[in-house]
Amino acid sequence: MIAQHLVPAVRTRLTLRLDADLVRRAKAYGKSRGKSVSQWVADDCRLLEEPMETVEAKATALTQSLRGVLRGTAVGEADYRDHLADRHR
């Protein structure tokens, strides 16, 4: 019997229909992280295989790691609103 993890995965093409601007932003996002959009989507889809508790635990750990990062800075709600406005132009 061949171990499941030793069998190469068969790659299948998937077509998504998305707004052109969203595709442009997704490609830029992937490029900034050194991944293609296909790799990025595949990584996110693999999360579907994990038990929800594991996914939530990872999110909680990330959230906990960010606590206090901005303590002592002069960042306020107006800065956050400006960031969102710039991000979604």
Average pLDDT over residues 22-41: 89
| Domain membership flag for residue 46 | yes
Euclidean distance between CA atoms 89 and 85, whole angstroms: 6
Local confidence band at 6 (pLDDT 50, 70, 90 cut-offs): low
Q: Which residue range is the domain that position 39 belongs to?
A: 17-66
Q: Is residue 51 part of a domain?
A: yes
Contact criterion met (CB below 8 Å) for 37 and 30:
yes
Residue holding tokens 């790799």?
Answer: 39
- Banded model confidence at residue 21, pLDDT cuts 50, 70, 90: very high
Mark 69-82 as b/e (b = at least 16 C-beta within 10 Å): eeeeeeeeeeeeee
Is 2 within a domain? no
Is the predicted pLDDT of residue 1 greater than 80, yes or no? no
CA-closest candidate to residue 37, choices 15, 60, 56:
15
* Total of domains in the chain: 1
